[in-house]
Amino acid sequence: MTLTFTHDIVHIARKKGVGVGAFNVIQIEHATAIVTGAEAVGLPVILQISENTAKYHGSLEPIGMAALAVARAAEVPVAVHLDHAESVQLVRHAAELGFTSVMFDGAKLPYEENVATTRDVTAYCHARDVLVEAELGEIGGKNGAHAPGVRTDPDEAREFVAATGVDFLAVAVGSSHAMLTRDAVLDVDLISVLREAVSVPLVLHGSSGVDDVGLVRAARAGMTKINVSTHLNKAFTRVIRECLAENPQVADPRTYVGPARDAVAAEVARLLRVFGGAELH
């Protein structure tokens, strides 16, 4: 296997009624860990690089090219996706580098402007065989993400997809970004309604705040692409803290980053099985 078209991963999962894991890459160790975990269970996976991570590395190219190289060497299908890009220029750069899909996040824009800009982005990307994910509804960060009103309207979702031509739609159904606890309660009924309302796969952001049972229920209700970042970062950081506490004189980063990478690989393997409904513990 090698670098794979995102469509071939996501649409197969949608037909099967299961979830596919999309995990955020911050450093190259995350990319290798995610692919190692996917290879361990023989399942496809999506590597994601956010706009914030591109800024952390100074530009998209260093970490983007590393992720693409890891994907091309993989033994399972691996797609490389740009996550939460508010910059149209960054979206275009990802397409030029060879990313197989991008997310243009226009959720902060007025609705009509979001539609117009997303439509232009989609036309540009489709001309280069790059798929586009968009966001409709406030998925949330730190404030009010679980308020009853923070939800995607199914009728608006249908209209948005038709007007923009996007390939995947991220929707607000009760999750929130950067949660450190797994106690978010998803609106599973709304997921089912949205699944029927739109013709494209649905994307769940903020999945780190959802427990295993909730993730399985979401996938069965119609959520296909399941994004995870904070949950893996917690595992990565926890192991580094433990290693440094046990060996305070250590100087070689490989002696503590290596075990952290292994922990992420193990959790990726476990989560991929959960998303497919094969494991609930």
Q: Which residues are catalytic?
A: 83
Parallel, antiparallel or unpaired: strands 78-85 and 223-228: unpaired
Nearest to 205 by CA among 176, 182, 167, 166: 176
Parallel, antiparallel or unpaired: strands 78-85 and 101-104: parallel
Enumerate the β-bridge partners of residue 134: 104, 169
The whole-angstrom separation of Cα 149 and Cα 76 is 40
Integer-rounded Cα radius of gyration of the chain: 18
- Taking the C-alpha atoms of 62, 11, 111 and 145 in order, what is their torsion angle to the nearest 10 degrees? -80
